[in-house]
Structure formats: C-alpha cells, structure tokens
C-alpha cells in the first residue's frame, strides 16, 4: 500500500502521484491519495508547529473512498502542508513505513527515508536523489490517449503548445510582459503557426482576458483558461505540439514538456530567477530547451525520464530497507 499525500493542488499532487504511478509500472502497488490541510497566517503556523500531526487523521482525496487507516508500506508526499504528517509517519508506523518527501522539505534530512528535490535546489545528502525539474505523470500512453480523444478538435500543423504560468515568489507575469507575450504569439500566428494555449491557476486574470481578446475568435487557436472552457486539453496539447512554448516561472510545465519529448522554447517573465537559472541551464545543456527567439524552432528531443529514474532508485532503496533487520532503539 502506498499513500500519496499532498494539499490536493494538482501541481503539487501530480509530483508525488507521478512518482507512485511510475513505481506501480515496475511492481504492483495499491495507491491511495490523501489530502493534508493547508494552514495560513501566524496562528495557523503556530498550530501546525506545536500540535502533533496524526497521519491517521488525513482525509481521502475528493472522489475517492476513505480507504484504510492502517499505516501504509510506502508514503510519498509533496508540499509544505504534508511535512508534519510525513515527519510523524515513521513513528506512527513504528518505522515500518518508508517515507519519501518530494521537493526540498526545508527540514533536517534524517526525518525522512528519502528526499527527492529538484537538482536546481542544490540539496545534497545520503538520502537525497535529485531530479532535473519535477516528477510528473507524463507517459507515452497518456499522451497517445489524450491526442486521440482530441484529434478532431486540434488545429492543423505546424502547431505549438503554449503553456502559461503566472505569478510566484520569484516571478511576475506583469501587464507589460503579457503585452509582449501576446505580440510574440500574434507574430507566430501570422507566420502560419497554430497555437494551443493553456493557462494555469496562477495566471493573472488580466492576462487571461488579454489572451481571450487577442485569440478567442481565431480558428487557428485553441485556448483553455479553466473549467469554464470544458475538459482540460493539457496532455493533448503537449502530445500534438511540434514544440512547446513555456513561461519560465513553472518548473512543472517546463518538465512536463521535456518529458513529453517536445523541444522547449522558454518564455521570459519578470522577476529574479535566482536558483531557477540552474534549471534553465540544465534543460539547455541537455539539448531539451532554448530561449524563445520569436520563431517556431523544432529539433529532435529525447524525452526526459527523470520520474522513471527516481522511481527505480526509490524502489531499490525501499527494498534494501525492507530486507534489512529492524533497528533496536535504545
């Protein structure tokens, strides 16, 4: 049994869930999703700090049955909300649960059996397996199914997936940057490139409005800005694209496009990239990404396989622990 623990947000959960699903493709694994409550404000932080978390209190993800309250064999968690539960999980299970934390936990590494951060964080340790970007749920089969489902609704080639993020701690999609982005996309349309544009939950409302005004009536553009536009075509856009234009704020979307085997053309956003510059350079040096030059560029790309690599190493280490005699605590 494997519990996938997150705060329920798609971008956070998919990292842990993608890792669990990759393990399940290697060996049988029953996966249950759990949601850790998010807290906000000083009072919430104090409560989380001083109130001992009980993993048995975690609720099932929406749409899933409650599941068992027995400690799982494997625990894969991602996100800040999951941390107190991850730290408590080994004690809860009498150290029988193998606890994996995705992303840099910002906590002492010995509290976890394995930590899987992005390599651009620079985290090192005996129980650290760093990955380029982030684990994800992108697979060849998932892409094939998605593009088949959307085949009649996709614009003709050449076509580019345009994945737009938004504001974060380090990045800002400012009005001036949105205007520049729209100009770049309009120039691509004039050159005959069809666009498949997907925004995210972080995309500012004014950016969505601007995109709708510029491209909403264009038959050569498919624009998805949220559930009001129907089913999410994200995977189909990736599968069908000749290249992917991705804003630099999103590690997840950059990694998704690279994992789909698409040439990645990175779009600038405002702010200070800091450590993310290492991510951009890693993608470039691996031959998977370039800065967007204003034109659609394509080249052969080997799909990024970091999720599979991390899953194989996780499984190897988990089996080693399972085969070891139990430690006697003093």
> What does the pLDDT read at residue 221?
97
For 130-174, what is each residue's pLDDT tens digit? 999 999 999 999 999 999 999 999 999 999 999 999 998 889 999
For 294-326, what is each residue's pLDDT tens digit? 999 999 999 999 999 999 999 999 999 888 655
What residues does each domain of the chain span? 2-132+307-323, 140-291
Percent of the chain with pLDDT over 70: 94
- Compute the average pLDDT of residues 203-207: 95
pTM above 0.75, yes or no: yes
> What does the pLDDT read at residue 330?
34
- Compute the average pLDDT of residues 114-119: 98
For 74-88, what is each residue's pLDDT tens digit? 999 999 999 999 999
Residues 6+ apart with CB under 8 A from 152: none
- Do 2-132+307-323 and 140-291 have matching folds? yes
> What does the pLDDT read at residue 324?
67
Q: How confident is the model at residue 288 (pLDDT cuts 50, 70, 90)?
A: very high
> What does the pLDDT read at residue 329?
41
pLDDT at residue 46 above 70? no
For 218-229, what is each residue's pLDDT tens digit? 999 999 999 999
pLDDT at residue 44 above 80? no
What are the φ/ψ torsions at residue 259 (nearest 5 degrees)? -70, -25
For 28-43, what is each residue's pLDDT tens digit? 999 999 999 987 755 4
Class for the domain spanning 2-132+307-323: alpha beta
Which one, of 245, 248, 244, lies nearest residue 282 by Cα? 248
The fold of the 140-291 domain, in CATH, is Rossmann fold (3.40.50)
Q: How big is the CA angle at 320 (ends 317 and 323), to the nearest 5 degrees? A: 150
The four Cα atoms 207, 210, 216, 219 give a dihedral, to 10 degrees, of: -90
E strand residue ranges, the chain: 2-6, 31-35, 59-60, 74-78, 98-102, 114-116, 159-163, 171-172, 194-198, 221-224, 243-247, 264-267, 270-271, 289-291
> What does the pLDDT read at residue 39?
78
């Amino acid at each position: 049994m494997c519990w996938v623990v997150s705060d329920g947000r798609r971008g956070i959960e998919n990292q842990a869930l993608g890792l669990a699903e990759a393990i399940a493709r290697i060996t049988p694994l029953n996966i249950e999703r759990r949601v850790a409550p998010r807290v906000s404000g000083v009072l919430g932080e104090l409560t989380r700090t001083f109130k001992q978390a009980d993993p048995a209190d975690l609720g099932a993800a929406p749409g899933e049955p409650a599941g068992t309250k027995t400690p799982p064999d494997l625990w894969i968690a991602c996100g800040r909300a999951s941390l107190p539960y991850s730290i408590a999980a080994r004690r809860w299970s009498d150290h029988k649960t193998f606890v994996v934390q995705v992303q840099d936990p910002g906590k002492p590494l010995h509290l976890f059996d394995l930590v899987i951060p992005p390599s651009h964080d620079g985290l090192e340790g005996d129980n650290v397996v760093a990955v380029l970007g982030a684990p994800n749920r992108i697979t060849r089969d998932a892409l094939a199914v998605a593009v088949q489902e959307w085949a009649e609704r996709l614009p003709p080639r050449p076509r580019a997936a345009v994945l737009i993020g938004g504001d974060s701690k380090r990045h800002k999609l400012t009005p001036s940057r949105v205007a520049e982005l729209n100009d770049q996309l309009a120039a691509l349309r004039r050159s005959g490139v069809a666009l498949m544009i997907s925004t995210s939950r972080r995309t500012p409302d004014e950016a969505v409005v601007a995109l709708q005004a510029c491209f909403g009536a264009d038959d050569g553009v498919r624009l998805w800005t949220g559930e009001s536009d129907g089913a999410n075509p994200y995977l189909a856009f990736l599968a069908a694209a000749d290249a992917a234009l991705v804003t630099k704020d999103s590690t997840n979307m950059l990694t998704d496009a690279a994992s789909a085997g698409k040439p990645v053309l990175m779009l600038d956003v405002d702010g200070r990239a800091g450590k993310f510059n290492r991510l951009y350079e890693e993608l470039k040096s691996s031959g998977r990404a370039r800065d967007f030059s204003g034109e659609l560029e394509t080249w052969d790309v080997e799909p990024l396989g970091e999720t599979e690599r991390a899953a194989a190493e996780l499984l190897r280490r988990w089996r080693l622990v399972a085969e070891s005699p139990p430690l006697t605590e003093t």
